[in-house]
A and B are shown apart, each in its own frame.
Chain A
C-alpha cells in the first residue's frame, strides 16, 4: 500500500516497475548528443503527415508502438494510458492514441507532463487499480511554434534565454514485476509563481517550482542529495538550472554534484542553435526513455530523481500581463526495491 509521507510525497511500497520504454525524436534530436540512445529518429520532421499536429500524433503513436513491442504487449494488455502534450485540447495525444482503444486519461502539465503521467501510471499500479499502465507525452517544435509563437518562416530573433521545443516523444509501461527500474516515491508539486512575465524565459519561470518540489521531497523523506546518483530536472535549460542551484543552495540543499537538466542533455548548445537549451513535454520524456531508464536498469545509477518541470503558460494570459506559473513533479526511480526508509 502507498504510504503518505506528507501532502505531496507518497511512498510506493509495492515499488511499481517500469517494464519497457521507448524514445522517438526528430532531426535536431538526431543531431544531438543522445542520438545513439533513441529507439527511433526520423529525419523527416513531418513524420510523413500533411500537418504538424498530425506529425506530432504520429510521433507519439510511434513511441507507444515501440514501447509496446519491446514489452511484447498489445494495446488490449494495457489497462489505462495517461498521455499529454502541449497542444490545445491535447490533440497530439487524443489523435495519436484514438485507434488504440485503451482507457485514456489526458493530462496537461505543460513540460512536466511526463512526470505527471508517470506518477499517475505508478499510483494506479500501487493502488491495485490496474495491472499494466502506460505514460506517454510528446512535443513537436513546429506545432508548438505555430500555437505559442510565430509562423516557422517568420524572420524573428529569439532571445538568448529562449528554449527550443524538442520534437520528441517518450513512452513508458508500468506494471508489477521484480525487474528494475522501480518507482519508489512520487512527489506531486504545487504551483509556484514568482512573477516571471517573460514568455521567452521559461527556465526562470519554472526554477522556483523545481526548487520547491525538490526541497519538499528531501524534507519529507529525510534523504539527502548525496543519496542519489543523479537529480534530473526536466527542461530548466541554462537559465533555470543556474537559478535552481542558487535557490536550493539558499535552502542548504546543494545539488550541483548530482544535478543534470534534460534540456541541456538533449542538444549540444555549442553547435546546435537552441539558445538556453531544449524544452517541451517530449524533452524530459525522451531523455528519460533514452538516457536515464536504461542506466538505472543496468545499475549504472542506483537511485535517480526525475523532476520534470512545466511552465503553465498561456499566450492569452501572458498578453493580459499575467505572470507564468511553474510546476514540477518528482519521481524517485531506483535500481532496487530498497528497504523501508530508503
Chain B
C-alpha cells in the first residue's frame, strides 16, 4: 500500500462523510423546542387561572413537563420524537428528564443498586456536576459583589 498521511486521509474521509442536513434539523429543532415551551407557557397560564400563585404555578409546570417526558420515555415515544427534533427535545427540561429516565429503564436488569442506582446519572451527571459548580461560583460572586 502506498503510504497516506493521517492528514491526507482525514481530508478524504471528510469528503466521503455526508454532513448533517442542517437545513432540515435546525428548523425541526426550533419548531419542536418551541412547541414544548409553548406547552409550558400554556400550562403556566392554566395553573394560574386555576388559582395557583405564579411561583408555585411555574414549579408545577416543570413537574408536569418532567412527568410527560418520563411517561413518553417509558412508552417508547420520546426517543422517536428526539430522532427528528434533536436539540428541540434535548434542551428543554424534558430532555433532562429523558436523560435520567432512559438509563433507569436500560439498567434495571442489573438490579436496584448497581443497575438503576449506579447508572441513573450516567448521562445527566455532568449537567448536575457542572450546574452545581457554576451555581456555587455565581453564588460566591453574588455574595461578594451583589
Chain A interfacial positions (CB closer than 8 Å to B):
50-52, 146, 150-161, 194-196, 201, 204, 208, 211-212, 215-216, 238-239, 242-243, 246-247, 250-251, 273, 276
Contact = CB atoms under 8 A, between A and B. Distances in A.
A161 B15 CA distance: 12
Interface of B: 1-2, 4, 6, 9-10, 12-13, 16-21, 25, 73-74, 76, 78-79, 81-83, 85-86, 89-90, 95, 98-99, 101-103, 105-107, 109, 123
B99 A154 contact: yes
A155 B16 contact: no
13 contacts: A153-B79, A153-B106, A155-B98, A160-B17, A194-B6, A194-B9, A239-B17, A243-B12, A243-B16, A246-B16, A247-B1, A250-B4, A276-B18
A208 B4 contact: yes
Nearest to A215: B1
Contact of A242 (B6, B16, B73, B74): B16
Nearest to B13: A204
B114 to A, nearest CB: 14
Contacts of A251: 1-2
A152 B137 CA distance: 35
A150 B102 contact: yes
Nearest to A52: B109
Contacts of A153: 73-74, 76, 78-79, 98, 101-102, 105-106
B69 to A, nearest CB: 9
Contact of A250 (B2, B13, B16): B2
